[in-house]
A and B are shown apart, each in its own frame.
Chain A
Amino acid sequence: MVALYYTRSIMRVRDGLEVAPMSPAEEWVLLFYRLPRVPSTPRSAVWRKLKRLGAAQLGDGLVALPADARTREQLEWIAEEVTDHGGEAALWLGHPLDPAARSALAGRMTAAVAAEYDAVTAEATAAQEGDLVTRRRVLVRLRRDLRRIAGRDFFPAPQRDAARAAVDDLAAASRRTEVRA
């Protein structure tokens, strides 16, 4: 946990999608799971939850997250959900042994989060053209989106700052209009 925080703090790369170098203590929690193909509802429910957590897919039925108390617990409950629906699930805690594979994985996770931040930036910028009601509505939604994305932003994506700034600008624009009106 401490090691992971340290890693995060030294790795604010502003450009590109480089991610933190691996700390020897870095742990990942891995969930192996298998669910019957039918019914498909539990499968998609589990998949949606894994996506929301920002889990990286290592292979068919194998996902990983940097380990902390929260990610371990969340994956434990997903494992329980899998077994509740007649599937099988096993949780593992592990260290990456291959720095290149680990960097590629972290890079993929960061790229996914970066794309989400870029979408927020684009929406916030576009909403500046809308009327006050639209701006307010979009602002509320994008602030919530930012909180959600931050929860799965394990290797702080540099695009985060731009997204926050764009949402702050939208908030400021809404306030200015309010004063004028």
Chain B
Amino acid sequence: MKWATRAGVHVDRAACAWLIRRFIDPGAEFIFLDNPAEVPPGATPFDMRGAALGHHQGRCSFETALGSFDLTTDPALEEIGRIVHEADLADDRYDAPAAAGLDVLIRGLTLTSGSDHATLALTDRLFDGLYEHTRRQLMTGRPPA
């Protein structure tokens, strides 16, 4: 399937792309648009104004996507949703100390990686690690050593 979002990805779009590729559509093809009005026919827009997979009811796009894709039963994904929310919106809705670090790392990657596809290749690995860390922490009740 084709998925479209705004060019110049940051934390919320990177997190959504990871979620889509890992949990929804392993063969996902991502398109990055400079003009949000140019979503190609057949592509599903995300983290864009007017998209169903966007910011709604104070939630970031990743949180919206968890609901839309019926992934809310995975507590590790819910926790990542809180981290992405704070990294993206910083409105103190959640206590998510990892958010500040995630924000800085992804902003830094976008400065050096050359293209949105290259950024996503790196952020996919970042979110894989964050997911595993969060999963283990929730299982044992302690941060994994």
| B135 close to chain A: CB less than 8 A | no
- Given A69-B8, A80-B55, A81-B55, A148 and B50 contact (CB-CB distance below 8 Å): no
Q: Is A76 an interface residue (CB 8 A)?
A: yes
Query: Which B residues are in CB contact (< 8 Å) with A52?
Result: 90-91
Interface residues of B in 79-133 (CB under 8 A from A): 90-91, 100
> B residues engaging A (CB < 8 A)?
8, 10, 49-50, 54-56, 58, 90-91, 100
Q: B91 contacts A77, CB within 8 Å?
A: no
Known: A76-B49, A79-B49, A80-B54. A49 touches B100 (CB 8 A): no
Contact at A148–B56, with CB atoms within 8 Å? no
Complex: chain A residue closest to B107, CB-CB: A70
B-binding residues in A (CB < 8 A): 45, 49, 52, 69-70, 73, 76-77, 79-81, 84, 147-148, 151
Main secondary structure of the interface of A (DSSP, over half): helix
Give A43 to B91 CA distance when docked, in angstroms: 16
In Å, the complex CA distance between A96 and B134 comes to: 47
* Contact A147–B100 (Cβ < 8 Å): yes
Residues of chain A with a CB closer than 8 A to B58's CB? 45, 81
